[in-house]
Each structure stands twice: as structure tokens, then as C-alpha cells.
Amino acid sequence: MKETTKKSFHVGGSIEKAMAGDVELQPIAVLQEAFKITAKNYTKYLPAVICLFIAQIALLLLSLKIQLGSPNVFFDAFITGKGFTADILKAGFMANFWSDILIAPLYVGVSLMALNHSVGLPTKPSQIVKGFSFTLVSIITMLLISSIQGIGSSIFPLVGLFLTMALSMAILLVCEKRVTPIKAIQYSFMATVRKVMPMTAIYLVVMIFFFLSIVTAGIGLLWTLPFFFNVKAIIYRNMFGITLQVTSATPNADDHKSESKPDDNVSEPINNDTFNA
């Protein structure tokens, strides 16, 4: 028999430090680390990201079909510029809005996998379903975030872009720190304001990558999307920190068969519902 002991330790910042702006966030260092961990985990991470992307496109098309009868109505009007009415524009906005909200559990799963990468833990594609443990709270959080972003965009597009960046950590705070959606939005916003310059620099680079991905007919998204999630995970770790749990299994003194075997040590984040190393 083996006896197990569990110890926890913290990696990165904390909510208190993030609120005070007392965190290290160097754009070049963040981007370089994101490149490394994306390359290291690419083959096992990409299938989960593709699954998320396909699911969101499916929800987007379904929403357009429900509103317009056929998604082609929207895309034909968008491409040709003919018949692009206010109703069609509204349908496109609502389709994007609801697809963002309904995809939240899968988005959480992919985001939590990226958190594993940020602390050196491996992942496998099946871990995308871990987000379903947070289905209700993730949908509520995403609904609030999308609504706030929509209001900001209606005031001025740059306001919407800023809010997209400022609220980007909220969904992870809800799931990893188990705070309420309102608190998570508050923490994410205030932490971003404290580090607005380095955050802006990082997100500008990510936006350039997305633009280049579109120029390459979307092929570049195969790298940019995993990279984007890993960038967010590193920012989150540096700002708010991640609590890990180390489980050590040691042989029982009465089990002579185990005397020559080394201890088994397993590291995993402290919330088992959130991660599984």
C-alpha cells in the first residue's frame, strides 16, 4: 500500500497584487514564452482549439439560419454589398453574440488547458470537456462580458476593443479562483487598467497575428488561435497566479515489495474540477 500526502503551492501573482498593479508583465517575455509553450504542446492542443472553432462556426450558422432562413442570405449580402439591410446586420450581430455565449463551456475547457501549459503541465485533447463543469457560471459570465462589450462598441469601436481586452481574464477568474462573475469582471478590468500599456502592447501583437492569419486565407489561425490562448494563460498566471497541488505517494513501511520503488509525485492544480494534469 502507498500513503499519499498533498501539498499546495502558488505560482505567479495574486488578486491582491493584480489590484495593486504589483505584478511583472513584460510584453516581449510573455510573447516569447507563449511561442515556446505553443510549440511544445501544439500537437495535443490544436485538436481542442479546432473543436472549439468548429463548434462556434456551427452555432453561428445555426443562429443565422434561425433568423434569416439561410446563412447564405447574410454572406451573400456581406460579400456583394447588395441588400445589406439593417435587419441583416442585426442578425449577424445577434448570431455572433449568442454563439460567443453558448460556446462558453468549450471556451473554458480550452482556456484551462492553456493554464496547464503556463505552469508546465501537459494536456490532452479530451480535457476540453473540463469546461462543462462550469457550464452555467461560464455562460452567465460570457453573457455579461459580451453585453458590456456590445454596449462599449455601440458607443465607440475602440471602447469595445478596450473592453474586450480588459475583461479577457474574467472567465478564468470565475473558474480558477471561483469568484462571482461580477467580481471576476471587476478584478479583470482593474488589473488591466493597472497594466494597460503592457497589456495593450501584447494584444496589438496578437491582433497583427490574427490579421496575418486572415491574409493567409485562415491557414495562420492554426497557429494563432493556440498561441492566443497561451498568451492569455501566461498573463493570467503573472497577474492572478495559479495554485497547484502536489500529490506524493510513498510506500508503506509494511509493504516490503514497494521498498525499492521510488516515490511517485504528481503535480496538479488544486481545483480538480478545473484541471487534470
User: Per-residue pLDDT tens for 149-164?
Assistant: 999 998 998 999 999 9
Look up residue 21 and give its DSSP letter.
T
Which residues make Cβ contacts (< 8 Å) with residue 142, sequence separation at least 6?
100, 101, 104, 107, 171
Q: Tell me the per-residue pLDDT of 52-66, one tens digit each, with 9 for 90 and over.
A: 999 999 999 999 888
Which of 11-15, 109-113, 225-229, 250-254 has the weakest average pLDDT?
Answer: 250-254
* Single pTM value for the model: 0.85
pLDDT band for position 76 (50/70/90)? confident
Taking the C-alpha atoms of residue 249 and residue 6, their distance in angstroms, rounded to an integer, is: 9
Q: Domain map of the chain by residue range?
A: 7-246
DSSP H helices, 69-195, are 71-80, 86-102, 104-118, 135-155, 157-166, 170-172, 181-194
Q: What's the Cα-to-Cα distance from 139 to each of 75, 102, 158, rounded to whole Å?
A: 27, 6, 25
Which of 6-20, 33-47, 72-86, 234-248 has the weakest average pLDDT?
Answer: 72-86
For residues 123 and 44, the answer to whether their CB atoms sit within 8 Å is: yes
